[in-house]
C-alpha cells in the first residue's frame, strides 16, 4: 500500500503532466514499494553472485514459519469464507422459498402479467442458458423447462426467446418439443384460440408452427434454439467460406468488415424465418437484450460470442445443487427476479 | 451531508495514520501470501468502469476520476502479480469511446502518453521487476505521438519476465474477431509459393497422387505413356501429410519434364535425381492455376491464433466494476467458454483488494471442489482450468494433510 504522502506527491506530479518530479525522484519514491530483488523467483541477473550469497544467508526458519503462516491463513480464510457462503446460501434459499410462495404463477397468464406490469422495460429478446443434467429423464426435464420458459415469456409479453443448450440435443427433437410447448401453453391459456401463435426453429432447421396473423390479439412467440456449434464453429465456417471466396477471386480481404460479419452471423439466426415467406413478417432481433443464467455463477459455457456484445446478463445466483438431487434450476421466481433486475427494480415481498 | 463529510474525513485521517497504515499493509501482504497457497487464475481481465460516475458523484473532474482509476489499476496489478496471476488484461479504451467529448478523449490520451513515457524512463527498473506490456487494438486509430509512446513502452518491456499486462487500447471485440477472420482469409488466399509440393492439404485422407502411384506400381512392368492426366489432378490437390506422396509428386513432375525416362526408373530413382533436376521441377506448378491451402483446414485454433490475445492462457476471471452487467464488446471470443464473469457494484477508483478477495476465494473454492470430485457439480464437471504444477503440488499437500488428520 502506498502511503498517503507519497500518493499525494505522485498525484501532484501527474497533474503537472509528469514534469514536477525527475526520473530519479520517482524511482526514489517507488523504491520502498518494490520487492527485494533477492526475493524474486528464479531470475538470473548479472549480480547473481551477491544475491546468491544473500539467498544462502536467508533465514530458513523464518521463511518456513512464514509459509506455514500463509498456509494457516489460507485455511482460515477459506473456512470463514465457506461459512459465509453457506450462510448466504441458506439466507437466499429462505428468501427464494418466500418468493416462490408469494410469486407463483399458478398457471394463470393474468398473474404473470400482473407481476411484470410495473416494470419500466421488458426485454424484447430474452435468452437463457440451460444445462442438460445427467439423469435418465434429463431430456424430458429439459424440454419441460423450455416449455415453462416459453409459457412465462408469452404471458409476460416477451415476443422472442432463445434457448441455449450446449449439446444441441433439443435441435434433434424439434417436432416433439413443439408438441410439448403447445401442450404447456394450453395448460396456461386454455383453448387454442386464446393461445399465442408459436414458432420454433433452430439455425439450419425449418420453422415449426404457424405464422402469427397480424390481427390476432393473442400475440406470438418465437423460440430459437442454440447450441455450442452456433458459436465459434459458425465463425469458423464463415471464415472458411470467405477464404474460399477470396481464393476464387470473388472477394478481397479488405471487404471483410464488422458490418459484413454481423450481417452474416445475424443471418444464421434469422434465415429460417426469412426463407419461409409465411414467416417473413416475424423478425427476430439477433442480439438478445437479457441473458438469464440459471446457475450458481455466471459462465457462458460456449454461448455464441458475437451476439452478446451489449446483452445484459443476470445470474439467478447461489443455488444449492446438493440439497434435493438435481435441484429444479429453472424457477419462476428466478425468472421474475431476472426481469425485475433488467428493469432496474427491486422485488419485494408481497405482490 | 456535513456530518458524513466529517465522518469520512475522520476515517481518512484514521486510515492514514502511520500505525494503521502499517497494519493494513501487513494484513494485505498476509492475505496475498495466503491466496498463493491455493489455485491461482492464470489470466484475469478487468473492465475499468465507473471512473466518470465516481468523479460525478464525488464532485471532482472527470479527468481526475480517470487519474484515480489509474491508481486503482496500479493497486490491483500489484495484488494480481504478487499472488501469481500471469496475465492481466484491461479494457482501457474502446473504439466507441472516440465518440466521447474531445476534451475527455484528449485527456485520456495524454494520460496514457505520460504514463507510458514514464514507464519508458524507468527502463532498468522495469527490466528487473516489470511485466511485459502489450497493447491490443487498433493502433492505427491513435495519434502519432501516442503511438510512439506505445511502441516505445512495448519495445522496452518485450524482453521482460513471464508476467504480461495486456492493455486493450482502442479495442472492441467485434473488431478483433473481424480482424482475425480477415487475417485468416488473407493468409489462405496467398498462393503457395514453395515448390516442395503442388498443394498443401488434401480434402480427403487419401491423396490422388499416392493412388496413382500405387496403380502404376502394380502395372510396373508395362510402360505408362499418358501421365498428363495424373499430373493435372496431382497439382490440383495433393497432400503434405507425409513424405512419401510428396516425393512421388516430385517424381511425377520430374518424370513429366524428363519425358525420355521410363516410368519405372523415374519412380524408383526420383529421390536421388531430384537435386540436379531442380529447375524444371518448378515449371508445372507455376504454369497451373495458383494453388491454395484448403479452407477446410481452418479451425477454431486457426482463429484463436489470430486473436490479439494469442499465446496467453485462457481467461479465467473477468471482472467488471460499476454494476453494469454487460460485456460491452470486450473479450467476447475469450470469455464465452469457461470464464467466470463477475459484475461488482463498486466504482473502479474504489476497487481494491477487499473487493477482489471474495472473487478470488470463490474461484479457488470452486476450482478446488471441482478438482476434488469432478462429478459433484454438473455445471463445470471436468473442465477445470489447467493448473500449474505448483498448484497441483499444494493441492496434493493439502489432501495428504487431510488424510493424515483423519
Closest-CA distance of chain B to residue A334, Å? 17
**pLDDT, tens digit, 9 for 90 and up, residues B303-353:** 888 898 888 899 999 999 988 888 888 999 988 888 999 999 999 999 989
Domain boundary among B263, B291, B319: B291
In angstroms, the CA A221 to CA A124 distance is 11
Identify whether residues B243 and B173 lie together within a single domain: no
Identify whether residues B141 and B112 lie together within a single domain: yes
Helices (H), chain A: 4-15, 23-31, 48-57, 60-102, 109-117, 138-156, 174-189, 232-247, 258-275, 332-342
Domain containing residue B266: 208-291
Q: Which of chain B's residues have a Cβ under 8 Å away from the Cβ of A240?
A: 295-296, 298
**pLDDT, tens digit, 9 for 90 and up, residues B2-33:** 556 677 788 888 877 888 888 988 898 899 98
List the catalytic residue out of B67, B97, B160, B304: B97
For testing contact with chain A, the best of B33, B81, B115, B181 (most A CBs within 10 A): B181
Cβ contact, residue pair B185, A253, below 8 Å? yes
For testing contact with chain B, the best of A76, A234, A236, A317 (most B CBs within 10 A): A236
Identify whether residues B240 and B331 lie together within a single domain: no
pLDDT of A158 over the 80 cut: yes
Could you please report the per-residue DSSP string of B33-68? HHHTTS---SEEEEE---HHHHHHHTT--HHHHHHH
Identify whether residues B244 and B323 lie together within a single domain: no
Candidate from A229-233, B3-7, B118-122, B277-281 with smallest mean pLDDT: B277-281
**Rounded (10°) CA dihedral A327, B387, A167, B307:** 130
Cβ contact, residue pair A308, B332, below 8 Å? yes
* B49 in active site: yes
Note the pLDDT of residue B77: 86
Q: Is residue B346 part of a domain?
A: yes
- Please tell me which of the candidates B178, B185, B365 has its beta carbon nearest to residue A257: B178
Identify whether residues B62 and B138 lie together within a single domain: yes
Note the pLDDT of residue B3: 56
Domain boundary among B257, B291, B325: B291
Q: Which of chain A's residues have a Cβ under 8 Å away from the Cβ of B333?
A: 232, 305
Mean pLDDT for A288-317 is 88
Identify whether residues B167 and B306 lie together within a single domain: yes
Q: Is residue B3 part of a domain?
A: no
- Please tell me which of the candidates B296, B302, B337 has its beta carbon nearest to residue A302: B337
Could you please report the per-residue DSSP string of A83-139? HHHHHHHHHHHHHHHHHHHHS--TT-HHHHHHHHHT-S---SEEEEEE---SSTTHH
> pTM, whole model, 2 decimals?
0.75
pLDDT of B400 over the 70 cut: no
Identify whether residues B287 and B372 lie together within a single domain: no
Q: CB-based contact (8 Å) between B95 and chain A?
A: no
* Average of per-residue pLDDT values in chain A: 80
For chain A, list the domains and their CATH numbers: 4-57 (no CATH), 108-342 (3.40.1180.10)
Q: What is the tally of structural domains in chain B?
A: 2
Identify whether residues B169 and B214 lie together within a single domain: no
Closest-CA distance of chain B to residue A116, Å? 21
> Quick one: closest CA in B to A239, which residue?
B181
Rounded (5°) CA angle A257-A263-A268:
130
For residue B152, the domain's CATH number is 3.40.1180.10
Note the pLDDT of residue A348: 64
Identify whether residues B252 and B135 lie together within a single domain: no
- Looking at per-residue pLDDT, the higher value among A349 and B361 belongs to B361
Cβ contact, residue pair A246, B189, below 8 Å? yes
Candidate from A69-78, A99-108, A302-311, A324-333 with smallest mean pLDDT: A324-333
* Cα Rg, chain A, nearest whole Å: 28
Identify whether residues B145 and B218 lie together within a single domain: no
Closest-CA distance of chain B to residue A303, Å? 6
Q: Is residue B166 part of a domain?
A: yes
Note the pLDDT of residue B112: 85
Domain boundary among B269, B291, B313: B291
Cβ contact, residue pair A247, B328, below 8 Å? no
Closest-CA distance of chain A to residue B340, Å? 5
List the catalytic residue out of B49, B230, B249, B316: B49
- Looking at per-residue pLDDT, the higher value among A330 and B54 belongs to B54
Identify whether residues B171 and B315 lie together within a single domain: yes
Per-residue cell: A259: 458490418
In angstroms, the CA A349 to CA A340 distance is 13
Return residues 250-309 of B near A (CB < 8 Å).
292, 295-296, 298-300, 302-303
Region of residue A249 (phi > 0: left; psi between -120 and 50: alpha; otherwise: beta):
left
Amino acid at each position: 500500500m502506498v502511503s498517503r504522502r507519497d500518493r499525494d506527491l505522485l498525484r501532484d506530479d501527474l497533474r503537472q503532466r509528469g514534469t514536477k518530479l525527475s526520473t530519479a525522484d520517482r524511482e526514489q519514491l517507488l523504491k520502498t514499494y518494490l520487492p527485494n530483488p533477492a526475493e524474486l523467483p528464479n531470475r538470473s541477473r548479472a549480480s547473481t553472485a551477491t544475491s546468491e550469497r544473500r539467498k544462502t544467508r536467508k533465514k530458513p526458519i523464518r521463511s518456513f514459519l512464514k509459509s506455514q503462516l500463509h498456509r494457516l491463513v489460507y485455511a482460515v480464510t477459506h473456512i470463514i469464507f465457506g461459512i459465509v457462503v453457506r450462510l448466504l446460501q441458506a439466507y437466499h434459499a429462505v428468501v427464494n422459498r418466500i418468493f416462490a410462495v408469494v410469486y407463483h404463477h399458478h398457471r394463470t397468464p393474468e398473474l404473470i402479467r400482473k407481476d411484470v406490469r410495473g416494470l419500466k422495460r421488458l426485454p424484447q429478446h430474452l435468452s437463457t442458458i440451460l444445462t442438460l443434467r445427467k439423469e435418465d429423464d434429463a431430456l424430458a426435464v429439459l424440454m419441460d423447462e423450455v416449455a415453462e420458459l416459453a409459457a412465462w415469456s408469452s404471458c409476460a409479453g416477451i415476443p422472442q426467446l432463445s434457448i441455449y443448450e450446449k449439446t444441441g440435443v433439443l435441435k434433434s427433437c424439434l417436432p416433439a418439443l413443439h408438441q410439448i410447448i403447445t401442450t404447456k401453453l394450453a395448460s396456461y391459456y386454455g383453448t387454442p384460440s386464446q393461445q399465442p401463435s408459436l414458432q420454433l426453429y433452430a439455425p439450419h432447421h425449418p420453422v415449426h408452427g404457424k405464422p402469427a396473423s397480424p390481427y390476432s390479439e393473442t400475440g406470438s412467440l418465437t423460440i430459437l434454439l442454440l447450441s455450442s456449434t452456433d458459436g465459434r464453429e459458425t465463425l469458423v465456417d464463415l471464415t472458411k467460406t470467405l477464404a474460399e471466396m477470396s481464393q476464387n477471386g470473388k472477394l478481397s480481404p479488405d471487404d471483410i468488415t464488422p458490418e459484413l460479419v454481423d450481417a452474416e452471423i445475424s443471418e444464421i439466426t434469422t434465415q429460417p424465418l426469412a426463407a419461409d415467406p409465411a414467416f417473413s413478417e416475424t423478425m427476430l432481433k439477433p442480439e438478445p437484450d437479457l441473458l438469464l443464467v440459471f446457475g450458481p455463477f455466471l459462465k457462458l459455457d460456449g454461448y455464441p460470442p458475437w451476439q452478446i456484445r451489449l446483452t445484459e446478463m443476470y445470474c439467478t445466483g447461489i443455488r444449492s445443487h446438493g440439497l434435493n438431487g438435481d435441484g429444479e434450476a429453472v424457477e419462476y421466481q428466478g425468472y421474475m427476479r431476472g426481469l425485475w433486475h433488467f428493469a432496474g427494480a427491486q422485488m419485494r415481498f408481497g405482490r | 451531508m456535513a456530518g458524513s463529510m466529517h465522518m469520512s474525513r475522520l476515517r481518512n485521517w484514521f486510515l492514514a495514520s502511520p500505525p494503521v497504515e502499517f497494519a493494513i499493509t501487513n494484513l494485505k501482504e498476509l492475505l496475498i501470501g495466503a491466496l498463493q497457497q491455493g489455485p491461482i487464475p492464470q489470466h484475469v481481465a478487468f473492465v475499468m468502469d465507473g471512473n466518470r460516475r465516481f468523479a460525478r458523484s464525488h464532485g471532482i473532474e472527470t479527468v481526475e476520476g480517470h487519474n484515480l482509476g489509474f491508481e486503482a489499476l496500479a493497486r490491483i496489478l500489484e495484488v494480481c502479480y504478487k499472488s501469481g496471476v500471469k496475465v492481466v488484461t484491461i479494457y482501457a479504451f474502446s473504439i466507441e469511446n472516440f465518440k466521447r467529448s474531445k476534451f475527455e478523449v484528449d485527456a485520456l490520451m495524454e494520460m496514457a502518453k505520460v504514463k507510458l513515457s514514464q514507464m519508458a524512463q524507468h527502463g532498468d527498473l522495469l527490466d528487473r521487476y516489470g511485466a511485459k506490456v502489450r497493447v491490443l487494438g487498433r493502433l492505427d486509430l491513435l495519434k502519432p505521438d501516442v503511438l510512439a509512446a506505445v511502441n516505445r513502452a512495448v519495445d522496452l518491456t518485450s524482453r521482460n519476465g513471464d508476467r504480461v499486462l495486456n492493455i486493450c487500447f482502442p479495442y472492441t471485440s467485434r473488431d478483433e474477431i473481424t480482424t482475425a477472420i480477415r487475417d485468416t482469409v488473407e493468409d489462405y488466399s496467398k498462393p503457395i509459393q514453395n515448390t516442395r509440393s503442388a498443394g498443401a492439404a488434401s480434402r480427403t485422407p487419401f491423396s490422388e497422387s499416392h493412388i496413382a502411384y500405387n496403380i502404376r506400381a502394380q502395372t510396373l512392368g508395362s510402360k505408362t505413356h499418358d501421365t498428363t492426366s495424373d499430373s493435372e489432378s496431382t497439382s490440383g490437390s495433393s497432400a503434405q501429410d507425409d513424405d512419401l506422396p510428396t516425393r512421388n509428386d516430385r517424381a511425377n513432375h520430374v518424370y513429366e519434364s524428363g519425358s525420355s525416362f521410363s516410368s519405372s526408373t523415374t519412380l524408383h530413382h526420383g529421390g536421388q535425381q531430384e537435386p540436379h533436376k531442380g529447375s524444371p521441377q518448378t515449371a508445372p506448378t507455376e504454369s497451373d492455376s495458383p494453388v491454395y491451402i484448403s479452407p477446410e483446414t481452418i479451425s477454431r485454433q486457426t482463429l484463436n491464433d489470430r486473436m490479439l490475445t494469442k499465446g496467453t492462457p485462457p481467461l479465467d476471471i473477468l471482472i467488471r466494476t460499476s454494476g453494469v452487467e454487460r460485456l460491452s464488446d470486450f473479450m467476447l471470443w475469450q470469455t464465452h467458454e469457461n470464464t467466470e464473469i463477475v459484475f461488482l457494484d463498486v466504482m473502479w477508483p474504489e476497487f481494491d483488494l477487499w473487493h477482489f478477495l471474495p472473487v478470488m476465494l470463490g474461484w479457488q473454492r470452486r476450482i478446488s471442489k471441482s478438482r476434488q470430485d469432478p462429478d459433484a457439480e454438473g455445471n463445470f464437471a471436468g473442465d477445470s482450468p489447467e493448473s500449474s504444477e505448483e498448484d497441483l503440488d499444494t493441492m496434493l499437500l493439502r489432501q495428504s494433510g487431510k488424510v493424515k488428520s483423519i
